[in-house]
């Protein structure tokens, strides 16, 4: 989240799209009901289904699954062509004024630099024009035809209300009402928050969905203000935490990059990332990347990390490609991976194309499941009739199940969607012989290292170099681990005058204290401050809100630097005055930046210096046009899902996202509309938590059985009875379930053609208390987002027919 859960209470318009907060985040949803009740805020929901969120919304607009970019681009076009934008914000706080290279272009749905064979772009033309002074060239009048603003106007022109309706199936009046409500906030007086979740990420163009939303918020001036923001609702109590600490496949903790093959030295890695300012007086905070990276290496390798050995950089693995989940299963499928450790992970349920997953798991030598429950994955080899039709005799994979404690049986911290790190204490003893994750991992590490010490082997050096100096090597405590993430001074740190500002051994108070000479450590710079000299701030439980704006500054610790609303310098105008009294937040008081939050800015830089509020960007401003930062284009484009009921109405020749990765052989597993005329989408139900609670009696009572949601029209066409059995199949597999025939889904008119879609909840499998079902990912296609490789679960093709019940 750019903002926080409690900040949603400050919104005047709440827009839920690409998510269903009432269903998936019922507790956080209270802030939506608060905004409605206290401020008269309006709630609008755009979703293929009339959801539980829609049930309490003021406006609902339907949309065909997978066409969010067309819809959102239509909103962008509406704002631009009707001049409903927050002009001063756009001029000063975005890159609207920046001139783009002449070589950059867009035609027939493709940007300049496309390589059809490799399915990727040479992004060198996606850059600014540079001036003789070394800074990017701007036209503050926004009139130069090469400026981002003018290019943008042109780029979004095709997305008229008619075109949006033609692509997305949304009736024009319903679409225009959304536009009007969005535009009502483009003035600095009112604010809109956007809440999204996996309904936006799980597409082959997922990252661009979110980007388009960000553009809308920037045009309205809704970033950095209370009640604004683009807010990702995380699907686990701690999924923010796990992304932070670097379980992303190409990252180390704190969103720093893992080195790649072409970066043999630390310097070659850093050179690409310590961005120099693109404009005078800009902060360009990534200039500090080096300090964070070296501190990370010091944490990792301790005394063995020295300036002479590049602080152990050589010991880090160098990526050839990103090893995301889809690729993990692809390499398993190819027989190139022989062992898999699943820690709190049920990939048989979670990964696309279940039959491929089973085939991959069957080729492993061993599978380790570190989990509090017996997962469907741990029992992938077991025959469950038609729900998991395998022959155990043919599967040689050895499966180890290591029982682990649940969250309530261990101390530690959780990081919620608001980026707030909160400590919790263990509430119950570990069940039977289960151990905590850190005990299990430490035990594994220590044993493996011993084996390597004794026998040697490939990759032994990094293993031996790792600093494992915990009090008990077999049980690093959560307290020690959080301290380590925070970092400390390794020698006395002195300021320019030679005064000691941080004594050796002391915890660091902020990442501003980190140094690049090896004199500090800290394995995750963004958390620095959570466990500073003042102790463990994640334990704070002060629920006072002095400003009344939902800023609970002494509750836990919100990274970075305990900041609750990111980019909050943008809540004031270029002179440092609030845009409006109504939206007053952070402002220049003559001496410094003040307000209820921690300024996202150097607190003493005066407005006259014109330092931009987006300090992480070398421009100092936000990006409407994203340069070469995304693999599939500097502007979003409507691309159909890989499995689509129609050809792309804008660019008929292009199938799917042209820059999305498709593995060899997987192009053939896509189905086409001739054989699979119906669109399907997947989602959670509030009664269950992912695949865990199907094993919990109470949850199984509340939602006992897999079902498929079908419109009355489709049911009639296919002769499907309410509550009767149906079979749904794609080019990859089939599932059976009960038919929930509902008015909450309606067929849409797309490009003149009636398109039906159905909804499939994802919570059911073949292990647990709920009725057995085939995992929904028996149906889904193994293609991911071009940037993040998140699989396309939200829009794919199937067919459906009524059947008599399955034979148990």
- Figure out which of the listed residues 541, 697, 716, 753 binds another protein, where binding follows CB under 8 A: 697
Binding to another protein in span 9-28, by CB under 8 A = 22-23, 26-27
Q: How far is CA 726 from CA 379, 670, 740, 744, in A?
A: 26, 22, 10, 18
Q: Kindly state whether residue 807 participates in binding another protein, applying the rule CB under 8 A.
A: no
- Figure out which of the listed residues 5, 29, 313, 642 binds another protein, where binding follows CB under 8 A: 29
Q: How far is the CB of 36 from another protein (least distance, A)?
A: 7
Q: Kindly state whether residue 132 participates in binding another protein, applying the rule CB under 8 A.
A: no
Q: How far is the CB of 725 from another protein (least distance, A)?
A: 10
Q: What backbone phi and psi angles, to 5 degrees, belong to 300?
A: -75, -45
Binding to another protein in span 661-690, by CB under 8 A = 686-687
Nearer to another protein, 289 or 706 (CB): 706
Nearer to another protein, 417 or 787 (CB): 417
3-state secondary structure of 339: strand
Whole-angstrom Cα Rg for the chain = 26
Confirm if 796 and 758 have CB atoms less than 8 A apart: no
Nearer to another protein, 173 or 517 (CB): 173
Q: Kindly state whether residue 172 participates in binding another protein, applying the rule CB under 8 A.
A: no
- Figure out which of the listed residues 703, 711, 730, 774 binds another protein, where binding follows CB under 8 A: 703
Confirm if 728 and 806 have CB atoms less than 8 A apart: no
Q: How far is the CB of 374 from another protein (least distance, A)?
A: 18
Contact window for another protein (CB under 8 A) among 252-260, 278-286, 388-396, 768-776: 768-776
Q: How far is the CB of 808 from another protein (least distance, A)?
A: 12
Q: How far is the CB of 419 from another protein (least distance, A)?
A: 21
Nearer to another protein, 54 or 482 (CB): 54
Contact window for another protein (CB under 8 A) among 215-223, 308-316, 544-552, 740-748: 740-748
Residues paired with 489 in a beta bridge: 520
Confirm if 414 and 420 have CB atoms less than 8 A apart: no
CA distance 710 to 720: 9
3-state secondary structure of 399: strand
Q: Which residues contact 664 (CB under 8 A, 6 or more apart)?
A: none
Q: Quick one: which of 640, 526, 546 has its CA closest to 291?
A: 526
Nearer to another protein, 40 or 590 (CB): 40
Nearer to another protein, 436 or 703 (CB): 703
Q: Cβ of 236: how many Cβ atoms within 10 Å?
A: 15
Q: Kindly state whether residue 804 participates in binding another protein, applying the rule CB under 8 A.
A: no
Backbone region of residue 140 per phi and psi (left: phi > 0; alpha: psi in -120 to 50; beta: other values): alpha
Tell me which H or E stretch contains 679.
strand 678-683
CA distance 378 to 396: 13
Q: How far is the CB of 386 from another protein (least distance, A)?
A: 18
Nearer to another protein, 273 or 384 (CB): 384
Q: Is the peptide bond before 100 cis (omega within 30 degrees of 0)?
A: no
Q: Binding pattern to another protein, positions 54-73, x when CB under 8 A?
A: xxx-x-x-------------
Q: How far is the CB of 165 from another protein (least distance, A)?
A: 17
- Figure out which of the listed residues 134, 307, 457, 723 binds another protein, where binding follows CB under 8 A: 723
Contact window for another protein (CB under 8 A) among 253-261, 322-330, 340-348, 699-707: 699-707
CA distance 520 to 491: 8
Contact window for another protein (CB under 8 A) among 149-157, 440-448, 737-745, 786-794: 737-745
Confirm if 769 and 777 have CB atoms less than 8 A apart: no
Contact window for another protein (CB under 8 A) among 131-139, 289-297, 671-679, 769-777: 769-777
Q: Kindly state whether residue 37 participates in binding another protein, applying the rule CB under 8 A.
A: yes
Q: How many residues bind another protein (CB under 8 A)?
A: 47
- Figure out which of the listed residues 2, 6, 10, 53 binds another protein, where binding follows CB under 8 A: 53
Farthest-apart Cα atoms in the chain, separation: 83
Q: Kindly state whether residue 744 participates in binding another protein, applying the rule CB under 8 A.
A: yes
Residue appearing with tokens 């845009």: 579
Nearer to another protein, 35 or 788 (CB): 35
Q: How far is the CB of 242 from another protein (least distance, A)?
A: 24
Nearer to another protein, 522 or 737 (CB): 737
CA distance 202 to 200: 6
Confirm if 191 and 10 have CB atoms less than 8 A apart: yes
CA distance 586 to 595: 4
- Figure out which of the listed residues 35, 210, 605, 740 binds another protein, where binding follows CB under 8 A: 740
- Figure out which of the listed residues 366, 701, 801, 803 binds another protein, where binding follows CB under 8 A: 701
Contact window for another protein (CB under 8 A) among 135-143, 514-522, 720-728, 796-804: 720-728
Contact window for another protein (CB under 8 A) among 348-356, 507-515, 563-571, 738-746: 738-746
Q: How far is the CB of 770 from another protein (least distance, A)?
A: 7
b vs e for 308-329, b when ≥16 Cβ sit within 10 Å of the residue's Cβ? eebbbbebbeebeebbbbbbbb
Hey, what are 645's tokens? Answer: 């009921």
**Within 456-541, where are the H helices?**
460-465, 478-486
Q: Quick one: which of 563, 570, 602, 605 has its CA closest to 585?
A: 570
Nearer to another protein, 69 or 773 (CB): 773
Confirm if 210 and 566 have CB atoms less than 8 A apart: no
Q: What angle (nearest 5°) sits at the alpha carbon of residue 213, between those of residues 208 and 216?
A: 130
Q: How far is the CB of 203 from another protein (least distance, A)?
A: 25
Q: Quick one: which of 741, 800, 634, 686 has its CA closest to 104?
A: 634
- Figure out which of the listed residues 722, 753, 801, 803 binds another protein, where binding follows CB under 8 A: 722
Nearer to another protein, 587 or 692 (CB): 692
Binding to another protein in span 342-401, by CB under 8 A = none
Tell me which H or E stretch contains 371.
strand 366-371
Q: Cβ of 606: how many Cβ atoms within 10 Å?
A: 14
DSSP state of 738: E
CA distance 329 to 335: 10
Q: How far is the CB of 233 from another protein (least distance, A)?
A: 14
b vs e for 491-523, b when ≥16 Cβ sit within 10 Å of the residue's Cβ? eebeeeeeeeebeeebbbbbbebbbbebbbbbb
Q: Kindly state whether residue 743 participates in binding another protein, applying the rule CB under 8 A.
A: yes
CA distance 80 to 141: 15
Hey, what are 15's tokens? Answer: 């827009």
Nearer to another protein, 114 or 725 (CB): 725
Contact window for another protein (CB under 8 A) among 84-92, 154-162, 455-463, 716-724: 716-724
Contact window for another protein (CB under 8 A) among 45-53, 221-229, 661-669, 790-798: 45-53
Q: Kindly state whether residue 770 participates in binding another protein, applying the rule CB under 8 A.
A: yes
Nearer to another protein, 101 or 177 (CB): 177
Nearer to another protein, 52 or 655 (CB): 52
Q: How far is the CB of 771 from another protein (least distance, A)?
A: 7
Contact window for another protein (CB under 8 A) among 30-38, 125-133, 207-215, 323-331: 30-38
Q: What backbone phi and psi angles, to 5 degrees, belong to 182?
A: -60, -50
> Do β-strands 753-755 and 748-750 pair in parallel, antiparallel, or remain unpaired?
antiparallel
Confirm if 41 and 210 have CB atoms less than 8 A apart: no
Q: How far is the CB of 668 from another protein (least distance, A)?
A: 35
3-state secondary structure of 408: helix
Q: Which residues bind another protein (CB under 8 A)?
A: 22-23, 26-27, 29-30, 33-34, 36-38, 40, 50, 52-56, 58, 60, 686-687, 697-707, 722-724, 737-744, 769-771
């Amino acid at each position: 989240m750019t903002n926080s859960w409690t900040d949603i209470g400050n919104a005047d318009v709440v827009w839920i799209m690409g998510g269903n907060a009432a269903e998936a985040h019922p507790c956080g949803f209270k802030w939506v009901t608060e905004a409605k009740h206290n401020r008269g805020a309006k709630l609008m929901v755009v979703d293929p289904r009339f959801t539980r969120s829609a049930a309490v919304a003021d406006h609902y607009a339907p949309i065909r699954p997978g066409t969010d970019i067309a819809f959102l681009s239509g909103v962008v076009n509406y704002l631009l062509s009707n001049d409903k934008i927050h002009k001063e914000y756009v001029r000063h706080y975005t890159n609207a004024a920046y001139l783009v290279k002449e070589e950059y272009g867009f035609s027939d749905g493709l940007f300049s630099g496309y390589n059809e064979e490799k399915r990727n772009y040479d992004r060198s033309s996606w850059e600014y024009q540079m001036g003789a002074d070394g800074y990017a060239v701007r036209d503050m009048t926004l009139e130069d035809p090469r400026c981002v603003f003018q290019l943008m106007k042109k780029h979004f022109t095709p997305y008229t209300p008619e075109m949006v309706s033609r692509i997305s199936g949304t009736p024009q009046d319903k679409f225009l009402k959304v536009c009007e409500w969005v535009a009502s906030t483009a003035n600095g007086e009112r604010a809109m928050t956007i809440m999204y979740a996996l309904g936006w990420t799980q597409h082959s163009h997922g990252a661009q969905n979110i980007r388009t939303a960000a553009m809308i918020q920037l045009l309205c001036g809704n970033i950095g203000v209370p009640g604004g923001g683009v807010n990702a609702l995380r699907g686990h109590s701690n999924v923010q935490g796990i992304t932070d600490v670097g379980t992303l496949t190409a990252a180390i903790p704190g969103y720093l990059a893992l080195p790649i093959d072409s970066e043999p030295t630390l310097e070659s890695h850093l050179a690409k990332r310590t961005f120099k300012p693109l404009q005078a007086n800009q902060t360009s905070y990534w200039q500090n990347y080096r300090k964070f990276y070296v501190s990370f290496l010091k944490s990792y390798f301790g005394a063995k990390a020295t300036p002479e050995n590049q602080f152990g950089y050589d010991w880090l693995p160098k990526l050839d490609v990103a090893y995301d989940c889809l690729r993990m299963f692809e390499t398993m499928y190819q027989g190139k991976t022989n062992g898999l450790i699943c820690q709190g992970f049920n990939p048989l349920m979670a990964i696309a194309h279940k039959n491929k997953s089973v085939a991959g798991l069957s080729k492993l030598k061993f599978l380790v499941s570190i989990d509090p429950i017996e997962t469907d994955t741990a029992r992938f080899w077991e025959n469950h009739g038609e729900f998991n039709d395998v022959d155990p005799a043919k599967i040689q994979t050895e499966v180890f199940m290591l029982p682990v404690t649940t969250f309530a049986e261990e101390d530690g911290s959780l990081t919620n969607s608001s980026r707030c790190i909160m400590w919790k204490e263990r509430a119950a003893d570990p069940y039977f012989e289960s151990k905590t994750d850190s005990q299990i991992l430490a035990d594994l590490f220590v044993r493996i290292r011993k084996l390597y010490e004794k026998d040697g082997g490939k990759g032994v050096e990094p293993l031996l170099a790792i600093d494992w100096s915990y009090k008990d090597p077999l049980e690093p405590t959560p307290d020690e681990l959080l301290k380590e993430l925070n970092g400390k001074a390794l020698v006395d740190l002195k300021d320019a005058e030679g005064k000691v500002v941080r004594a050796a051994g002391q915890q660091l108070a902020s990442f501003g204290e980190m140094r690049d000479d090896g004199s500090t450590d800290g394995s995750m710079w963004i958390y620095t401050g959570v466990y500073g000299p003042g102790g463990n701030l994640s334990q704070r439980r002060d629920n006072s809100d002095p400003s009344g704006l939902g800023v609970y500054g002494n509750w836990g610790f919100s990274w970075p630097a305990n900041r609750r609303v990111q980019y909050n310098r943008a809540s004031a105008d270029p002179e440092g005055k609030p845009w409006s009294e109504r939206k007053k937040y952070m402002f220049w008081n003559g001496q410094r930046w003040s307000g209820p939050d921690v300024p996202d800015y150097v607190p003493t830089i005066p407005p006259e210096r014109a330092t931009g509020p987006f300090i992480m960007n070398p421009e100092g401003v936000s990006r409407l046009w994203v340069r070469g930062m995304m693999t599939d284009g500097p502007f979003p484009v409507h691309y159909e899902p890989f499995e689509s009921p129609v050809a792309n109405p804008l660019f008929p020749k292009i199938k799917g996202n042209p820059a999305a990765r498709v593995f060899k052989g997987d192009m053939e597993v896509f189905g086409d509309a001739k054989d699979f005329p119906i669109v399907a989408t997947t989602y959670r139900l509030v009664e269950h938590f992912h695949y865990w609670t199907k094993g919990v009696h109470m949850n199984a009572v509340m939602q006992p059985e897999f079902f498929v949601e079908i419109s009355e029209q489709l049911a009639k066409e296919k002769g499907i009875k309410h509550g009767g059995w149906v079979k749904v199949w794609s080019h990859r597999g089939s599932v059976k379930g009960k038919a929930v025939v509902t008015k909450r889904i309606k067929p849409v008119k797309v490009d003149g053609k009636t398109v039906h879609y159905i909804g499939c909840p994802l919570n059911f499998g073949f292990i647990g208390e709920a009725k057995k079902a085939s995992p929904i990912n028996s149906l889904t296609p193994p293609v991911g987002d071009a940037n993040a490789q998140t699989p396309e679960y939200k829009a794919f093709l199937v067919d459906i027919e009524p059947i008599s019940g399955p034979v148990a």
